[in-house]
């Protein structure tokens, strides 16, 4: 019986957060936008944008037993749980002097030219071109910056307003993520888990992406070690840094 009202409240809050996607409605028509704690709004939009950043690794799905694109859409619009089984099913990447090879156990699967659905292939190639562009990483990086700004100053921040300053907002978000019995705690906790999973995923995918671009040396140079550490271990903005600075991929 207790789960009914909580479930409805969580569903309503999820809908309200979706309506405030990327803060468009609160900034353009604030009187029509649902009122939600700005720290929770910021976390939600950061997680959604982090999921979209994963499209920057769309070329990882080429020559795999399972296509990556459905998992990416599931990750962007639902939860990154969709990407976890893909990582379990994908073949690790190795670079050779002649071509790209994915290894499945003891067997090597070389790149092959597959005839078939040209329309799907062309549309995928167009999507790949968008996700390969540096502008893709720049735009999503700016959205990430806007989430931090909203966290600090959205809905009357800077120490004023009913939500307080940065410290008060951080403490409220921590409570929402860790304590039960508070409004929005289920969603906040799930977003916190999503953030941790995305952090692991970026550390997992970036080395293979560099090998694919023949930008990985073994052992890596000191400069490369630093760049790799930033890209893999700085949450969210490490992915942005990687997408903006990585070498272009040979066709």
**Res 123 pLDDT > 70:** no
Contacts of residue 201, Cβ cutoff 8 Å, sequence gap at least 6: 54, 80, 83, 87
Confidence band for 168, pLDDT divided at 50, 70 and 90: very high
* Phi, psi torsion values for 107, nearest 5 degrees: -100, 145
- The token pair that represents 75 in the structure block: 């990750």
Using one digit for the tens of pLDDT, what is the confidence trace for 6-47? 788 888 999 999 999 999 999 999 999 999 999 999 999 999
Whether the Cβ atoms of residue 134 and residue 243 lie closer than 8 Å to each other: yes
User: What tens digit of pLDDT does each residue of 209-244 get?
Assistant: 988 888 776 666 777 889 999 999 999 999 999 999
pLDDT tens track for 66-108:
888 888 988 887 777 778 888 888 876 654 433 443 444 333 3
Residue ranges of domains in the chain = 3-130+145-201
Judged against a pLDDT cut of 60, whether residue 196 lies above it is answered with: yes
């Amino acid at each position: 019986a207790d789960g009914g009202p909580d479930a409805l409240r969580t569903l309503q809050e999820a809908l309200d957060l979706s309506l405030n996607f990327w803060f468009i409605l609160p900034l353009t028509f604030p009187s029509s936008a649902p009122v939600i704690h700005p720290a929770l709004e910021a976390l939600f939009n950061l997680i959604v944008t982090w999921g979209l950043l994963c499209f920057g690794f769309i070329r990882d799905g080429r020559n795999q037993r399972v296509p990556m694109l459905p998992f990416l859409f599931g990750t962007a619009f639902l939860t990154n749980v969709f990407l976890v089984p893909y990582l379990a099913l994908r073949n690790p990447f190795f670079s050779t002097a002649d071509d790209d090879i994915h290894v499945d156990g003891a067997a090597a699967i070389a790149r092959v030219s597959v005839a078939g659905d040209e329309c799907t292939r062309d549309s995928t190639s167009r999507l790949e071109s968008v996700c390969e562009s540096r502008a893709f990483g720049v735009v999503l990086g700016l959205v990430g910056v806007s989430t931090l700004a909203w966290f600090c100053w959205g809905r009357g921040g800077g120490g004023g307003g009913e939500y307080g300053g940065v410290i008060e907002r951080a403490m409220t978000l921590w409570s929402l993520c860790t304590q039960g019995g508070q409004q929005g705690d289920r969603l906040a906790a799930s977003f916190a888990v999503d953030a941790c999973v995305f952090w692991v995923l970026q550390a997992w995918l970036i080395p293979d992406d560099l090998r694919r671009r023949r930008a990985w040396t073994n052992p890596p140079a000191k400069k490369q070690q630093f760049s790799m550490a930033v890209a893999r271990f700085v949450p969210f903005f490490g992915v942005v840094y990687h997408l903006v600075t990585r070498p272009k991929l040979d066709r």
